[in-house]
Amino acid sequence: MKTLKASSEGLKKINEAIEQIQTEKSLALSNDYWVDEASKFLPMDKIGKKEISGSVSKPTWQRFRNNTGVKPKNFQAFCQVLGLNWEDIVDNIQPASSDLKKAPTTSHFSIPK
């Protein structure tokens, strides 16, 4: 599953935005405000024939703040809450895939004699 992380400069902007909002609203990092606001930016989830509001969890908020990677939709939602353009925050350098299903088969290689 693809996850997004912030660049080092992006992480600085995230922390500055969090600090500013905390000061303005007197909020702790554990306050439900962060996940409640981010959830408002998520698309509806379809479960069977029912559509329910998308939601994000506190552990996801913690992973976002610790920059350990979150799903793209959650990364974008948290950036919106912080008033940041996610494209300016995201680390565009993606690590090489370790998914061997995407690797070429050995039949594509020739061994010199």
pTM over cut 0.85: no
Query: pLDDT tens across 36-57, in order?
Result: 999 999 987 777 887 777 889 9
The SS3 of residue 47 is: strand
Q: Which domains does the chain have, with CATH numbers?
A: 8-91 (1.10.260)
Query: pLDDT tens across 68-107, in order?
Result: 999 999 999 999 999 999 999 999 875 555 555 555 555 5
The SS3 of residue 49 is: coil
pLDDT score for 45? 75
Q: SS3 breakdown of the chain: % helix, strand, coil, rounded to 5? A: 50, 10, 45
Q: For strand 50-52 and strand 45-47, is the pairing parallel, antiparallel, or unpaired?
A: antiparallel
